[in-house]
Chain A
Amino acid sequence: MKKLFNNIYLWVDERVQISDLVKFMSKKYVPIHSRSIWYYFGGVSLFLFIIQVVTGILLTFYYKGSSEQAYESIKFIMSKVEFGWLIRSIHAWSANLFILAVFIHMFSVYFERTYRKPRELTWVTGVLLFFLSLGFGFSGYLLPWNELAFFATKVGTDIVGVLPVIGEPIKLLLRGSEDVTGATLSRFYAFHVMLLPLLFTLLLSVHLLLVQRQGMSEPVEVKVKGSMPFFPNFFLRDLILWLLVLNILAVLAVFFPAELGLKANPLASAPVGIKPEWYFMFMFQSLKFIPAKVLFVDGELLGILLFGIAGLLWLLVPFWDRKTAAGQKNRMINYIGVFSIIFILVMTILGWVL
């Protein structure tokens, strides 16, 4: 058997020089230090993304992206398709864990200042991937065409419409009609399975290429004890963690299967307590706290603009954090990071409690 594999390997290697890639990977080393654990969250995010792709493709075999059939097709997947309930539940849970892993990965990179030269572009592509992940979450949430998703999308797209000049056109572009209708569902489906995956894959390729090219960043403030080969040592550790995540996913999917709720009825009034997905909660709750008018400026508009500016500043951290770039300590980065985490946590909790 070993001989057979060896022969196949040699046959492929002779034609595409696969041994070069193995040599390249085995030469890659991962630094060992007290904060090495944060390296793994990039891999976990990647693993969850792969699960999303695989389960997503399986779901498209049965899902029907029209307002008349979407809800029924999900019902069919949940009740009739063999292991359909498992695939959908894993897709739903994996989406949540993916965004959580991306959050952790992004903040760990931020606090470690890994974005500093020469990894500015890795940070920028990473943040853009984070924004796309949120886009995945927002577009996928509507697809079951249930009551909660319908009204959450209505509220979400209404918020975009507040923006001056470009708000209405963007809202129309997202909805495909004046209101949230079957046209919106078709669009969101197209975003979710075509446009976003395309952009995501392109950006992810660049992101991974940069990581591979530049290797793992060593932290500034911590002493590096040594290093381990990326392959097989780090890769096998990654694999153990991925299996652990898979176990968690399976337990969540079996014990807390994804719910479907009631079918969306555009003529019905919005049910009480409509809430967005947890990763949008902090923004939703903040907008609710801002008064209707702040010095002649519409409160909601002000909130969106502030979040827009914050997002832009976040994207451009490597370019305005000149102290770190110059090799100096920048405590402001820690303060901003801690403030952001506390803000997100408090607003999210308030969103659920209030």
Chain B
Amino acid sequence: MKLLIPIIILIVNSFLLSQVKKVDQCFQCHIDIGSAQAELFVNDVHKRIGLSCSSCHGGDNTTDNDEIAMNPKNGFVGKPKPSKISEICANCHSNPETMKKYGSNIKTGQFEELRKSVHGKASTDANTTIAQCTTCHNAHGIAKVNNPASPVFPTNIPETCGKCHSSVVYMQKYNPSLPVDQIEKYRTSKHGMLNKVGNKKVAACADCHGAHSIFSAKDVRSSVYPTNIPATCSKCHSDKEYMKEFKIATDQFEKYKRSVHGVALLEKNDISAPACNSCHGNHAATPPGISSISKVCGTCHALNAELFANSPHKEAFDKKNYPECETCHNSHDIAVTRDELLGINKSSVCSKCHSEKENSKGYFAAKEMRQMIDELTNKQKTASSKIFEAEQKGMEVEEIKFRVRDINSSILEARTVIHSFDISKFKEVIKKGNVASQEVISDATSKIDEYFFRRYGLMAAVLVSTILMILIYLHLKRIEKKNN
């Protein structure tokens, strides 16, 4: 009996309340007439939290009277103007208080970010921006980002972006020079392949380019601007925990930062230096195969790659399955090339394979080449110190200084020609450097000699003139004495 009374009260109460419960008349009528938008809205995240059509379209959703419900006096706007769509979304999404009311903890700066981004620029008809919120998130039937039904769910992102970015006709209107094959390439990459089979952790478009604050890759604010790329890639690739399931190393960024390329790009801001994507590709990111390493490095180091390809080492490396450039220079931690790499010492890379007993031809060639380049660099140092000495003595050495470039370029050329592993070619280049350095040393020395010649000449001239002065004085005294 004690239990019966409350149950009766609850049933009666529920009955009575159901009679006064508000009905979303907009939705009700539009679903009744078979509206596609209303059907999509059934599963919309906004409907689930109690928002009505009128939340975005305005009007009175409590009445089924068209005249009142869709009266502009009641704030009805109907289909929003394209230029107003994102603003309507921002009414709630840019307001932390409102978002808090609905128990949401998503960020509230998206509209501002979108407005500043490349997509926030005016479209061709100038009435709206290139992309609004609804372009990527849909208008009706909006799902949470972590809902596989959402167009911005990680595995759906490539296709969502591709709607515009893979369309030649569409992209011609905004950026005709931008390729439209990114999605195609992406699907060939490790990222793209894993994404295709439903892996949410691999990078999709927004992971590298950003979601709302997307800038042109030429814009320094972009996460894919050359100097920002290593940090962008390392967000995932340096995270041991995150990368655990992929079983690949996570020290690439650390190594790259210290490498000659990393220092040039990140410390000297030389954007011609390679970032991750220069070797791995960007949309088709993949580790280069052993046989293609020299081709990848050769996109910049063209001459070295060509010389290597025609050298006897090419065949030897292929047989032993050695990665070409990487065997001597490493991959991510490529250090500044030093002459010490050449030769037969412990620090040289040649001695890894060549010794007096094994592959001895290369051993002796390496020894001789090292000697030659050491001699040339010593001559270069002598030339520079002679020039410095002459300059310190106040002599004009501009022209000689200019000719030091010939020595430097010979050294550089020798360091390139080394990749042919042909000692006769190497000797030819060294000879040019030797001739240039000999000329520079001789000219600088003659400048130093001229300095001393000037001093001695001055002494002689002063001596002659002083003697003359004394003779004139004596002559004068003799005249004066005679007159007196």
Contact = CB atoms under 8 A, between A and B. Distances in A.
A269 to B, nearest CB: 24
A236 interface: yes
B398 A75 contact: yes
A251 B469 contact: no
A228 B484 CA distance: 11
B396 A85 contact: yes
B458 A239 contact: no
Contacts of A233: 476, 479-480
Interface string A200-242: 0000000000000000000000000000100011001101100
Mostly helix, strand, loop or mixed at chain A's interface?
helix
Interface string B452-464: 0011011001100
Interface in A244-287: 244, 246-247, 250-251, 254, 257
A16 B458 CA distance: 41
Contacts of A79: 396, 398-399
A78 interface: yes
Nearest to B400: A79
A232 B473 CA distance: 12
A259 B455 CA distance: 18
B475 A254 contact: no
A250 B396 contact: no
Contacts of B394: 257
B479 A250 contact: no
A232 B454 contact: no
A232 B480 CA distance: 10
Nearest to A86: B454
Interface string B392-407: 0010101100000000
B466 interface: yes
Interface residues of A, number: 20
A250 B462 contact: yes
B305 to A, nearest CB: 42
A94 to B, nearest CB: 15
B465 interface: yes
Contacts of B472: 236, 239-240, 243
Contacts of B475: 236
Contacts, number: 46
B468 interface: yes
A233 B478 CA distance: 11
Given A233-B479, A239-B472, A240-B469, A251 B396 contact: no
B325 to A, nearest CB: 44
A240 B458 CA distance: 18
A237 B399 CA distance: 46
A233 B473 CA distance: 10
B124 to A, nearest CB: 41
Contacts of A237: 476
A125 to B, nearest CB: 30
B479 A243 contact: no
Interface in A66-85: 75, 78-79, 85
A232 B469 CA distance: 15
A236 B454 contact: no
Interface string A313-340: 0000000000000000000000000000
Contacts of A75: 396, 398
A246 B398 contact: no
Contacts of A85: 396
Interface in A44-90: 75, 78-79, 85-86
Interface in B425-458: 454-455, 457-458
Nearest to A256: B394
A244 B465 CA distance: 8
Most chain B CB within 10 A, of A85, A233, A243, is at A243
A247 B479 contact: no
B469 A243 contact: yes
Given A233-B479, A237-B476, A251 B398 contact: no
Contacts of A254: 454-455, 457-458
A284 to B, nearest CB: 29
A254 B476 CA distance: 31
B408 to A, nearest CB: 22
Contacts of A251: 458, 462
B449 to A, nearest CB: 14
B398 A247 contact: no
B396 A78 contact: yes
Contact of B466 (A78, A86, A247): A247
A284 B466 CA distance: 40
B465 A246 contact: yes
A254 B394 CA distance: 10
Contacts of A232: 476, 479
Given A78-B396, A85-B396, A247-B466, A236 B476 contact: yes
A52 to B, nearest CB: 19
B451 to A, nearest CB: 10
Nearest to B447: A79
B209 to A, nearest CB: 41
B424 to A, nearest CB: 39
Contacts of B466: 243, 247
A333 to B, nearest CB: 35
Contacts of B455: 254
Given A79-B399, A240-B473, 15 more contacts: A78-B396, A79-B396, A228-B480, A233-B480, A236-B475, A236-B476, A243-B465, A243-B468, A243-B472, A246-B465, A247-B461, A250-B458, A254-B454, A254-B455, A257-B394
12 contacts: A79-B396, A85-B396, A239-B472, A240-B472, A240-B473, A243-B465, A243-B472, A244-B469, A247-B461, A250-B465, A251-B458, A254-B458
Nearest 5 pairs between A and B by C-beta?
A79-B396, A254-B458, A236-B476, A243-B469, A243-B465
Interface of B: 394, 396, 398-399, 454-455, 457-458, 461-462, 465-466, 468-469, 472-473, 475-476, 479-480
